[in-house]
Amino acid sequence: MEPRTAPRPRRITARAAPVAAALLLVAGCSGVGVEGTPGAAGLRDPYFPKLGNGGYDVRHYALNIAYDPRTRRIEATADITAAATQNLSAFNLDLAGLTVRSAAVDGATASYRRAGKELTVRPREELGKGTVFRTRLVYAGVPETITDPDGSEEGWLPTADGALAVGEPTGSMAWFPGNHHPSDKATYTVTLSVPAGLKAVSNGRLVSERTANGRTTAVWNAPEPMASYLATVAIGAYRTTTGTVRAGKPADAPAVPVLSVIDPAAADAEADGLLARIPELLDWEAENFGPYPFSAAGAIVDRPGDLGYALETQTRPVFPRTAFDAPTLVHELAHQWYGNSVTPETWRDMWLNEGFATYAEWLYAEDFEDVPAQDSFTEAFDDDANWAFPPADPPEAENISDAPVYGRGAMVLHKVRQAVGDDAFFEILRGWPAKYRYANASTDDFTAYVEDVAGEDAQDDLDEVWDVWLYGDGKPDGP
Ligand code: TRP
Ligand code: ZN
């Protein structure tokens, strides 16, 4: 350590003095017992350290977005209800692009500042720990399409007749300011205004839809907690199909409405046939995974040919026509339990999403196509792409959607099945999303849960599953 008497560079002394004075001033004026400090600018995710923000916990997003497909601009308001988790002098939101026009906290104008993807809001008065406060941000502009570390596109994607918003892992900050880390889940109300003739769709249930003065306004409500990467908006000249499903809901609960939209350019007999299977597949998954966790279901089929991947957006997964087949549908619907209801604590826990969703495909092959999961396992084992790294530890952000996260993740689950037996395994498939319903969980939570269900007898086998299959480098000698 530097001795206290060492001469200090003048620059530091000059800066330190006003800061200290300002802190004293704040402490003197504020009614809060402990002086407030700014919330952290990131949550230190292992892959996206600046994603998300500290110091508060969002409860609800009320987003109001008007879209003009001709100019591709949005005019928007976000009302964000959050609880302070510390005494807060300022807090950050993640927002990429767009122009912020005004900020207010609890109705009082607040100052704000932008630096890269961080928007810092400073309320006029400090927010004491535990306070529930509402931030209103008025913003506008042409939302960005974001290119991910792995080269795929997300964020806001203009389409021939509208737009599509997909947000895994970081794209939702392209269309609304928020706490964009999967650990801060919240409920949503999304109000969309589009030119009459177009449909505007989001997560959850359609609350109202009216057309006046040449514009249609649709209000969507997602009443169960949702990670922001699962939020979606789809605008286009869609065809709509509707239905209902019970999906394991108790007899006294209302049936779940199923609402799907399909871009006519993406529609054909096969796509229509797949959409029609959603209730049947949700019923089948509910038998295996437990009651469907949400109060709405459906799908969005859009962007023929160019998105390249499907996404499990909550209640209403997105499919480009090119990635819309039965196993993909089974996969995205399985994410409603694994990923959406129980959500990864950080992006390192991604295999908990993709391993389970891939295993759902193996179960589908077992039940519908007479292909034992053991055969799917062997096929995955023989695929070199699955051995690049252990599923619980992708080397870089660009690897979180690579083959080992999916195929080797599913292999881990199959090894668990072998170690604990079918009865305990299917108990785990149902119990895991039940225990962490609407919450977050980590890989450690998962291994602890499995050990709990399996009991002492399986302990040695499970230790090996974790050491070799979940965390181990390289390919074991034999399956
Ligand atoms: N989660 C999607 C799926 O399997 C795939 C995906 C799309 C993805 N974008 C991603 C995975 C970004 C990780 C990161 O169904
Ligand atoms: Zn997936």
CB atoms within 10 A of CB 211: 13
Gyration radius from the chain CA atoms: 24
Alpha-carbon distance 267 to 405, whole Å? Answer: 31
Q: Which atom of ligand 1 is nearest to the CA of 148?
A: 12
Q: Which atom of ligand 1 is nearest to the CA of 310?
A: 15
Q: What is the pLDDT of residue 33?
A: 66
Tens of pLDDT along 103-148? 999 999 999 999 999 999 999 999 999 999 999 999 999 999 999 9
Q: Is the CB of 310 under 6 A from ligand 1?
A: yes
Q: Is the CB of 45 under 6 A from ligand 1?
A: no
Q: What is the pLDDT of residue 13?
A: 30
Tens of pLDDT along 254-295? 999 999 999 999 888 999 999 999 999 999 999 999 999 999
Q: Whose CA is nearest to atom 12 of ligand 1?
A: 168
Which two structure tokens, joined as six digits, stand for 98? Answer: 């767009």
CB atoms within 10 A of CB 137: 25
The pTM (predicted TM-score) of the whole model is 0.93
Segment holding 66, helix H or strand E = strand 56-68
Of 244, 242, 296, 304, which is closest to residue 271 (Cα–Cα)? 304
Which class in CATH covers the domain with range 347-470?
mainly alpha
Q: What is the pLDDT of residue 20?
A: 42
Q: Which atom of ligand 1 is nearest to the CA of 154?
A: 9
Cβ atoms of 243 and 258 closer than 8 Å: yes
Q: What is the pLDDT of residue 276?
A: 97
Residues of the chain with pLDDT under 50: 1-32
Alpha-carbon distance 180 to 177, whole Å? Answer: 8
